[in-house]
Chain A
């Protein structure tokens, strides 16, 4: 079946540090890949997405590249800010699964950025 594996958190970084959150996936078909972010006290928000191999999604300084050969979709940001502190979820959707385009999420990675 489909699954998503994320690196364990929490991740603690100083402001302006480089961020990488690893995400790998298993899918039977050709999934679309997503990163969602959940700020404290708020709902899930789509951060970025990629729908096919070698696509790069980007938003708010974050980016992730769909790597079919390594089944990965790692999230990166060159210089994090305190306001980036949140929980980040990697997810996939796969039309060939029974759930159609429902999202299959990883467990989430908590990021804390300190001044």
Chain B
């Protein structure tokens, strides 16, 4: 079974530029999460989707960050314009469903490391 795919793996941009990350979850997984992991810290949830609907985006800086999952499968996270403090690893995770049981186990992709200069 293929895991969660993310691209690109690395991205370097200047501040004020825009950038987009792509995630393809495990086939059949209805729930998709984007996390931000700043160096030396644990991942922090940015947004959670259930199929193509947003469950929680309370920690997404909506003035510059946006995300979509139009067909309920793959997802794109965009930053526009980027700031220095956006330098981090952006992790995508998916699960069969948003539950506390085995179906809720989250599987993570390898992440995209963003450096903003």
Contact = CB atoms under 8 A, between A and B. Distances in A.
Interface of A: 4, 32, 36, 42-46, 49, 51, 89, 91, 93, 95, 98-108
27 contacts: A4-B42, A32-B100, A42-B110, A43-B3, A43-B4, A43-B91, A44-B43, A49-B105, A89-B42, A89-B43, A91-B42, A93-B100, A98-B58, A99-B48, A99-B55, A99-B56, A100-B55, A100-B56, A101-B31, A101-B104, A102-B45, A102-B56, A103-B45, A103-B106, A105-B42, A107-B40, A108-B40
A101 B109 contact: no
A43 B58 contact: no
A105 B43 contact: yes
Contacts of B35: 103
In this complex, the interface size class of chain B, counting residues with CB under 8 Å from chain A, is 20 to 34
A46 B110 CA distance: 13
Interface string B28-41: 00010101000011
Contacts of A101: 31, 95, 98-100, 104
Interface of B: 3-4, 31, 33, 35, 40-45, 48, 55-56, 58, 91, 93, 95, 98-101, 104-111
Contacts of A51: 100-101
A46 B106 CA distance: 8
Nearest to B97: A101
Given A98-B56, A102-B48, A105-B43, A44 B100 contact: no
A50 to B, nearest CB: 11
